[in-house]
Amino acid sequence: MDSADGGLEMKDKIAIKIVNAAGKLLAENCSEGETALVYDGEYCQGDVILVELSEVPAHYWVQLDDAREKSLVYLTGNVSYVIPFGDARLNISPKAFCGAKHLLTVRKARTYEVESYRNLALNVWDQHHMNNMYPHAYANVETRGEAVFAAQNAIDGVVVNNSHGEWPYASWGINQQEDAQITVDFGRDIETDRIILYTRADFPHDNWWEAVTLSFSDGSDIRWELEKSSRPHEITFPAKRVKRITMHDMKKSDEPSPFPALTQIEVYGREI
């Protein structure tokens, strides 16, 4: 069947486009099930990557730059990713989005990939404004509003925690706020039985949390006692069916530093 614009109507259509600040189309490609776009050009301030999909909600592998990892994410609609510039890119690899040749890929995930036991909180491509892409992290505070302390850093897969600041040491910073909390939204119900935290351990600059509370969207809570360590903290529990997890009520140790922070949260489980 022909579409209204005269092209062939495709099932599982995936379109990748790059547009500039004025809305001008710079590059595009579209195909079924899996699409790659090679962009021969340098990005400019205001450029945006658009991913347009005919089959949602569904799981997709997304890699919007060849210098960053791909992520298996849950998409509920079209995606708009703003190319970061200046201070907004200090939390990602300096190689990303640089140069005059870029490879972008999006592929619909296969059933066995979706059904695997994995870290359901991982999303390299999360951004503050991000709609329709999950998991998504957000918080009630981020230190000085800086990208290197944004909530999205806690789900980007980078677990290096022995320093702080620019990539690869980005973290979620709480600006010394006592009621700080961070939420990971999965965009659908998932089943989890294991959470791993990498707390920032740039001692003695950093402090650490003696305990945190995990609140689940099913109404349950877990009070989790931690220790001073650069190693990952891991907790297991009977499987819960949840859509969101919030970490809050963090108890700072009595050490003099005012700066506890979170490098990464991993949530392991399966799709419902």
The β-bridge partners of 105 are 36, 63
The pairing of beta strand 136-139 with beta strand 118-119: unpaired
Which alpha helices (DSSP H) does the chain contain, by range? 111-114
pLDDT band for position 11 (cuts 50, 70, 90): confident
Contact criterion met (CB below 8 Å) for 192 and 214 = no
pLDDT, one tens digit per residue, over 86-121 is: 999 999 999 999 999 999 999 999 999 999 999 999
Mean pLDDT over each residue of the chain, to the nearest integer: 96
* Separation CA 62–CA 105 (nearest Å): 6
Would you say residue 3 has pLDDT above 60?
Answer: no
Specify the pTM.
Answer: 0.95
CATH of domain 119-271: 2.60.120.260
Phi, then psi, of 152 in degrees rounded to 5? -60, -25
Please report, for residues 120, 185, 234, the alpha-carbon distance to residue 266 in angstroms, rounded to integers and kept in the order given.
7, 13, 9
- Beta bridge partners of residue 193, listed in sequence order: none
CA-to-CA distance for 216 and 158, rounded, in angstroms?
A: 24
What is the percent of the chain with per-residue pLDDT over 70, rounded to a whole number? 97
Asked whether residue 253 carries a pLDDT value surpassing 50, the answer given is: yes
Nearest C-alpha neighbor of 41 from the set 85, 101, 95, 81: 101
CA-to-CA distance for 166 and 105, rounded, in angstroms?
Answer: 26
Residues 6+ apart with CB under 8 A from 6: none
Phi and psi angles of residue 153, each rounded to the nearest 5 degrees, phi first: -65, -25
Query: Tens digit of pLDDT for each residue in 188-214?
Result: 999 999 999 999 999 999 999 999 999
Give the whole-angstrom CA distance, residue 265 versus residue 262.
8
Q: Is the pLDDT of residue 5 over 50?
A: no
**Full DSSP string of the chain:** -B-TTSSBP-TTEEEEEEE-TT--EEEEEEEESEEEEEE-S---TT-EEEEEESS-SEEEEEESSTTS--EEEEESS-EEEEPP-GGGGTTS-TTTT-SS-EEEEEEEPPHHHHTS-EETT--TT--TT--SEESEEEES--GGG-GGG-GGGGGSS----SS-SSTTS--EE-TT-TT--EEEEEEEEEEEEEEEEEE---TTT---EEEEEEEETTS-EEEEE--S-SSPEEEEEEEEEEEEEEEEEEEE-SSS----EEEEEEEEEEE-
Question: For residue 9, what pLDDT is reported?
Answer: 64
